[in-house]
Structure 1
Amino acid sequence: MAESPTEGHPDKLADLIADALLDEFLKKDPYSRVSLEVVVISGMTFVAGHVSTEGYVDIPTVVRNTIKEVGYTRPEYGFDADASAVITSIEEQSPDIALGISGEGAGDTATVVGYACNETDSYMPLPITLAHSISKRLADIRKSGKAPFLRPDGKVLITVLYENHKPVSAKDIIVYTQHDPDVSPEKLREFIYEEVIKKVLPEKYMTSHTRVLVNPSGRFVLGGPVADVGQTGRKIVSDAYGDTAYSGGSAFSGKDPTKTDRSASYLARMMAKHVVASGLADRCLVQMAYAFGVSEMIAFDVETYGTEKLEKEKIVKALLEIFPTSPRQIIEFLDLRKPIYKKTACYGHFGKEGLPWEELRYLEKLRDIATAL
């Protein structure tokens, strides 16, 4: 199973604002240390956190521009970018935290995971891939103007049937989408099925037993922050791999890369993806642990679920020979001081092209080292 909120979902809007602000701080000062939390509710956006930077960011302007990009631009939505108050409470990073990081230690205590499998071209699990594809299509078609009756809030839930650990069909596709009050349920269902689901769902996964539901609870006119408070960090399973793999212990958005719960999660994904893409296993889960202020990782493990093509110990040794694992090395290795985080905030942090942890740089090297051990 997997769920994917649209960018207009209150929690995802909060994540998007947090990462938009992070990117702006990194543009002004790549060494900015940022830890932000965002809350959105009717008529108000609240930004709180700790920031140490040499740059200046106009926080209200970034917040309102982000809200506009999502589509909250009309008073009847109950949440309007121009009419929304922006309240900030920003302090400098704690000197104790700064001291722990200055010695090249981890910026947080964290357990992180990375996962990959050969179910899709992106080496992501099929359920979360389909859920993100549908929810993003829902947002894209709304913003294109082709569906003026759609509003920003929404969520997709999908369940996939497996046989012998391989996906065979979609069992349930459930779409919740906010809409104008005058659109009929019948028109909405037909449009979502024809222009959203059928456009992105591979035909081979649709069967006569696939159940498709659109707004099964009834009308969905009132949505967004006016209907439900949104907060950063409340969709961590959707941000990761769905229920196919574990999620790490922490959320990602609003945190600069000194926070290992973010940066090390990206490295763990890169490791797992290399294992699968190199043909060393069909599925791979990489687990890592870090302690605040400690410059090396505390624990490391790889699970291949019996799908490995050679001894797991060789895979582990090869990974640790190629990929650096100290907090400072991860930042440099993945070039994480760039403003790349806004594009991660919605529709998952993994499986997207153009992100450094998705690059397959060392496939041949990994195969050669592992087989030579």
Structure 2
Amino acid sequence: MVNQNYLFTSESVSMGHPDKVADQISDTILDFCLQHDPKSRVACETLVTTDYVCVAGEITTTAPLTRTVVDKLVRGIIREIGYVDPTIGFAADTCQIECKLHSQSPDISVGVDGGGAGDQGMMFGFACEETKSLMPLPIFLAHRLVENHAKLRASGKLNFVRPDAKSQVTIEYKPDGTPNRIHTIVLSTQHDESVVEVKKKKKVFSDKAREEILNTLIIPTLKAERPDLVDAKTKFHFVPVGESGKKYPSDVILCHINPTGIFLE
């Protein structure tokens, strides 16, 4: 048990982040297979880079998953995410799609016909009472920020942001493990050139755009969830990539859960 307040940070990526785009493409392939064949076994991996998508893996299914269908599914989800402008280097109608899906290895298939389990792992997290969703507060708020980022982009209320974004939320906790205040919010987002201005010979995010994101996205999101934890000392950082700022205190490090899934005290 620590005897002073400590900080804990979680991050979340938006639906347009390359890793999340890849996840959604794989999920779309899986959904299609299960829709047509509930007994499908799908190990689908997706790689996404500039104007290129590669879908690969081993699948056992009776679903009509042809290369044409894969192409249609992939372009459909990319379009739904919001990548429709070829000038930014990735768009639904112009990207190259390579399909390397094939039937599951006979050795693996025979081994799992009875039990149904394969060589895939199941990941798990933990629940707590910090939020109604039973998720820890930092990751809950980080998810809400990128979720609302996508909604405001789609509605046109923040028409200068693009699909790729990431949020980080740092909560200051009391020694007994209860949230004390929201310490820092970081939001990094793709954006149009229209909100870029030059200061001291450097291109920076305009003050007007910062205020718009703060007042349209961040403050409403935080106040809708935990208004009691926002105070005058809460720090807000926008598109901090390449900027060198003051590091957060690291005198006390407390792990709620480590990458292996083992709980620590």
TM-score w.r.t. the length of structure 1 is: 0.58
Aligned to 2:58: 50
Aligned to 1:347: none
Q: Is residue 31 from structure 1 mapped to residue 39 from structure 2 by the alignment?
A: yes
Maintained 8 Å contact 2:256/2:264 = no
Matches of 2:81 and 2:63, distance apart in 1: 26
Aligned to 2:252: none
- Among 256, 259, 262, which residue is 1:244 paired with? 256
Letter in 1 for 2:194: D
Alignment of 1:196-207 (within 5 A): 196-201=217-222, 202-207=226-231
Letter in 2 for 1:73: V
Give 3-state SS (helix, strand or coil) of 2:193's partner. coil
After the TM superposition, which parts of structure 1 deviate over 2 Å for at least 4 consecutive aligned residues?
A: 108-114, 216-219, 243-249
Cα-to-partner distance string for 1:112-150 (whole Å, 9 max, x where unaligned): 434110110011100000000001111110011112211
Matches of 1:29 and 1:109, distance apart in 2: 19
- Among 179, 182, 185, which residue is 2:191 paired with? 179
Q: Is residue 100 from structure 1 mapped to residue 123 from structure 2 by the alignment?
A: no
* Aligned-residue identity in percent: 39
- In the alignment, structure 2 segments of 5+ residues that lack a partner are 1-8, 197-205, 244-254
Give 3-state SS (helix, strand or coil) of 2:118's partner. coil
Task: Summarize the Cα distance change of 1:197–1:79 in structure 2 as closer, same or farther, 3 Å threshold.
Answer: same
- In the alignment, structure 1 segments of 5+ residues that lack a partner are 220-242, 250-286, 288-302, 306-373
Task: Summarize the Cα distance change of 1:110–1:216 in structure 2 as closer, same or farther, 3 Å threshold.
Answer: closer
Give the superposed CA RMSD.
2.0
Cα-to-partner distance string for 1:300-353 (whole Å, 9 max, x where unaligned): xxx797xxxxxxxxxxxxxxxxxxxxxxxxxxxxxxxxxxxxxxxxxxxxxxxx
Maintained 8 Å contact 1:161/1:171 = yes
Alignment of 1:144-223 (within 5 A): 144-163=155-174, 164-184=176-196, 185-201=206-222, 202-217=226-241
Aligned to 1:315: none
- Among 10, 13, 18, which residue is 2:21 paired with? 13
TM-score w.r.t. the length of structure 2 is: 0.81
Give 3-state SS (helix, strand or coil) of 1:216's partner. coil
Give 3-state SS (helix, strand or coil) of 1:79's partner. coil
Aligned to 1:72: 83
Aligned to 1:120: 131
Task: Summarize the Cα distance change of 1:304–1:121 in structure 2 as closer, same or farther, 3 Å threshold.
Answer: farther
Matches of 1:156 and 1:109, distance apart in 2: 29
Give 3-state SS (helix, strand or coil) of 2:141's partner. helix
Task: Summarize the Cα distance change of 1:33–1:132 in structure 2 as closer, same or farther, 3 Å threshold.
Answer: same
Greater fraction strand: 2
Which gives a bigger RCO, structure 1 or 2 (Cα 8 Å, sep 6+)? Answer: 1
Maintained 8 Å contact 1:151/1:178 = yes
